Amino acid sequence: MPDISHQEWRERAARLVPATAHRIGGTACDAGGDGFDAVSPRDGAVLARVPSAGKDEVDLAVAAARRAFDEGPWPRLKPAERKAVLLRWADLVERDRADLALLIALEMGKPVAEADGIELRAVVNGLRWYAEIADKGLDEAPRTADGSLALVTREPAGVVAAVVPWNFPLTMATWKLAPALAAGCTAVLKPAEESPLSALRFAALADEAGLPPGVLNVVNGPGEVTGRALGEHPGVDVLAFTGSTEVGRHFLRYAADSNLKRVWLELGGKSPNIILPDAPDLDAAADTAAWGIFFNAGEMCTAPSRLLVHRDVADRVVERIVARASALRVGDPLDPETEMGPLVSSRHRDRVLSYAEAGRADGARLLAGGASLDRPGFFVQPTVFDQVTPSMRIAREEIFGPVLSVLTFADADEAVRLANDTDYGLAAAVWTSDLSKAHRISRALRAGTVWVNCYEEGDYSVPFGGVKLSGHGRDKSLHALDKYTDLKTTWIEL
């Protein structure tokens, strides 16, 4: 992306006229209820009024996806042809990354440099990764007795509804859509109410890339209406969800009460980050702990929100984290120099601040932040508490904001006990120079991902997902295809 100054981003924002209509069957559709305002967290301004899909519009979208799956060309194309369309889509995202980055920064407050450099890079890489595996699949012919042949083929699972959050609006959509479409499924995407605009632009690029009408539909609207209608819809075969644990429970109920559609859940977390005194570089461990909790304003399912640090090195580590917190450039997401933007909404800001209040009330010691910023927009200061105990709310509940809870321990066994003392199991980390200890601790941690001497490492070849209340199933990697394909056995008498 070319170098764009803060002033020019602001000028582009002022000129922006985003598309707001649902995309159903390859065309724009602005039917539906009253609609809702897309509000920018950078200043509280209304960006656009967005139509809200009720049951009728969801019916239309699912019918379009159903037709495209049952009768359309997409599942029947040569895999290499599906690959070509997905690769074109990736190219178009690259072409329009400045526009997409602007939409993401405006609607959910991610610094524009990260929207481009991190989020859109992940989108482009994801589309290309699944495009490339679209024509690499092999089916099985197990050895059977003479006189018979058995074929085990992977069939596209049908219509996929993807219901996603706002924190990485297009990355989360890509994690669902890229493998689903590569496998030959068709889809209905339901973005979060906080990020309806970037998803519409993203889907328009898919149409431009040559995705046949109805293969990808987008409906916006409130979760309890639009999301629920998808969850209960008998025409949806697979429901792929990323979001909170509470809403994940709803989707399991919707499926149980409708057609038993397959439900995949990527949910919340309260990830422990264990720093042992023999960490290879304590300063690097502290810097990464600070980066991890403040990155994306802490609105990360994998945020290392519980720092478990050995008591012998706690002062040194915490002092460095507090210094980082104070030095962080918090500000306008349209400023390329900004390191942390606002929280996504005023409601979410108030929720995060209520945890700062709970931390104080429960007796934790506030070392940094703990308040909003005195400026328009939904900003919260980078916040650090130490003297946190395991029963405090700030040690147990997902805050989804820039709030770090520091707990100390005396030995590795206690660290593991504290780390696993949570309902969640998305991610964890351990910092040590002792290889055996790293392996032992990593095995003992109940989490979908364990990082050793690093945090937030990822790659499309590596699966991602959780255990316990963090959900089940894996996004990314070849394993994601399990979500969007069915195994079919065909017996042939020879």
The residues, ordered by sequence, that sit 6+ positions from 19 with a Cβ below 8 Å of its Cβ are 28, 197, 200, 201, 204
Pick between residue 164 and residue 419 the one whose CB is nearest to ligand NAD.
Answer: 164
Position among 176, 190, 270, 324 found at the interface with ligand NAD (CB under 6 A): 190
Q: Which is nearer to ligand NAD, 382 or 466 (CB)?
A: 466
419-478 residues in contact with ligand NAD (CB under 6 A) are 426, 466
Map the footprint of ligand NAD across residues 390-419, applying CB under 6 A. 398, 400
* Binding-site size, ligand NAD (CB under 6 A): 28
Q: Which residues contact 146 (CB under 8 A, 6 or more apart)?
A: none
For ligand NAD, the binding residues in 150-169 under the rule CB under 6 A are 163-167
Residue with smaller CB distance to ligand NAD, 12 or 351 = 351
Q: Does 269 bind ligand NAD (CB under 6 A)?
A: yes
Q: Residue 156: which of 416, 448, 488, 471 has the closest Cα?
A: 488
Which of the stretches 29-37, 66-74, 136-144, 190-198 binds ligand NAD when contact is defined by CB under 6 A?
Answer: 190-198
Which residue matches tokens 């089940």?
A: 472
228 is a site residue for ligand NAD (CB under 6 A): yes
Residue with Cβ nearer ligand NAD (75 or 126): 126
Q: Whole-angstrom Cα distance, residue 427 to residue 400?
A: 14
With respect to ligand NAD, which residue has the nearer C-beta, 82 or 233? Answer: 233
Minimum CB distance to ligand NAD, residue 43 (Å): 21
**Catalytic pick from 193, 266, 339, 398?**
266
- Report CA Rg, the chain: 23
Measured from the CB of residue 436, what is the shortest distance to ligand NAD in angstroms? Answer: 30
CA separation (Å) from 174 to 4, 127, 137, 284? 26, 7, 20, 31
- Give the nearer residue to ligand NAD in terms of CB position, either 35 or 213: 35
CB of 302 to ligand NAD, least distance (A): 7
Q: Does 232 bind ligand NAD (CB under 6 A)?
A: no
Interacting residue with ligand NAD among 107, 114, 116, 193 (CB under 6 A): 193
**What are residue 59's phi and psi, to 5 degrees?**
-60, -45
Rounded to whole angstroms, what are the CA distances from 457 to 58, 176, 178, 187?
37, 20, 20, 29
How far apart are CB 338 and ligand NAD at their closest, in Å? 21
- For residue 422, count other CB atoms closer than 10 A to its CB: 24
CB 250 to ligand NAD: min, Å: 5
- Among 269, 225, 267, 221, CA closest to 244: 267
Binding mask 238-257 for ligand NAD (x = CB under 6 A): ----xxx--x--x-------
349 contributes a contact to ligand NAD by CB under 6 A: no
The active-site residue out of 193, 232, 299, 301 is 301
Please state the closest distance from residue 220 (CB atom) to ligand NAD, in A: 9
Q: Which is nearer to ligand NAD, 78 or 347 (CB)?
A: 347
Cβ proximity of 187 and 66 under 8 Å? no
CA dihedral (25, 105, 395, 446) positive or negative: positive
Sign of CA dihedral 277, 281, 284, 288: negative
Intra-chain end-to-end CA distance of the chain, in Å:
59
Task: Check if 185 is active-site.
Answer: no
Sites for ligand NAD among residues 50-79 (CB under 6 A) = none
Question: Could you say whether residue 301 binds ligand NAD (CB under 6 A)?
Answer: yes
Residues 170-189 touching ligand NAD, rule: CB under 6 A, are 172
Cβ proximity to ligand NAD, 9 vs 484, nearer residue: 484
- CA separation for the pair 494, 491 (Å, rounded): 9
Beta bridge partners of 23: 28, 218
Distance of alpha carbon 406 from alpha carbon 274, whole angstroms:
10
Q: H or E segment at 375?
A: none
Least distance to ligand NAD, CB of residue 37, Å? 15
49/249 with CB nearer ligand NAD: 249
301 classed as catalytic: yes
Residues 6 or more apart from 393 whose CB is under 8 A from it? 355, 358, 359, 362
Residue 34: CB atoms within 10 Å: 8
The rounded distance, in Å, linking the Cα atoms of 378 and 109 is 9
Residue type, 371: A
Rounded least distance, CB 455 to ligand NAD, Å? 15
| Residues with catalytic function | 266, 301
- Contact residues: ligand NAD, CB under 6 A: 163-167, 172, 190, 192-193, 223-224, 227-228, 231, 242-244, 247, 250, 266-269, 301, 398, 400, 426, 466
